[in-house]
Amino acid sequence: MNIVLIAPEIPHNAGAAGRLALATGSTLHLVKPLGFSLDEKAVRRAGLDYWNEVDLKVWDSFDHLLEENPDARLWFLSTKAKTGLWEANFQKEDFLVFGRESKGLPEEWTQRANALCIPMLPGSTRSLNLSTAISIVLYEACRQAGSLD
């Protein structure tokens, strides 16, 4: 699987996504701008002692990621999407695209047929923490694709 974070702002969420990528054999894609530094000192200070083992790709833009992965099957995750996560049919190598913590994904992306939301009780909460959302979606995608068997 591929975890894509668009302009992530919080280093610990990216770190948690990296740990999830390691646990599932996934690739973590970070799309600039990043709200934190990836230099060795910053990574060490954040306690990411496993960071050098993460299959990490950093992109200057989402367009560049798409240019380099023209056959990518994309899923856009948003609380604004109309289709629930359980209705998706995930396959190995899918790209799970998550927006920045403060703003989410661009509105036009959340209206696409391949936009998904995590079902939540109405009025229960505005959204889930990014790393929590990634783990829910990633493990469902891995389960469906049989990538952890």
6-41 confidence digits (pLDDT tens)? 999 998 899 899 999 999 999 999 999 999 888 777
Measured between alpha carbons, how far is 135 from 39 in angstroms, rounded to an integer?
Answer: 25
Give the SS3 label for residue 31: strand
pLDDT the model gives residue 149: 82
pLDDT the model gives residue 44: 66
Of the ranges 46-55, 102-111, 137-146, which one carries the lowest mean pLDDT score?
A: 46-55
Whole-model pTM?
0.94
Phi, psi of 83 (to 5 degrees): -95, 130
Domain ranges within the chain, ordered by starting residue: 2-145
Residue 110 confidence (pLDDT) above 70: yes
pLDDT the model gives residue 99: 97
- What is the average per-residue pLDDT within 74-103? 96
Higher pLDDT, 6 or 43: 6
| Gyration radius (Cα) of the chain, Å | 15
What is the H or E stretch that residue 109 is in?
A: helix 107-110
Please name every residue paired with 104 in a beta bridge, in sequence order, or none if there are none. Answer: 100
Measured between alpha carbons, how far is 140 from 146 in angstroms, rounded to an integer?
Answer: 10
pLDDT the model gives residue 25: 96
2-145 has CATH 1.10.10.10 classification: no
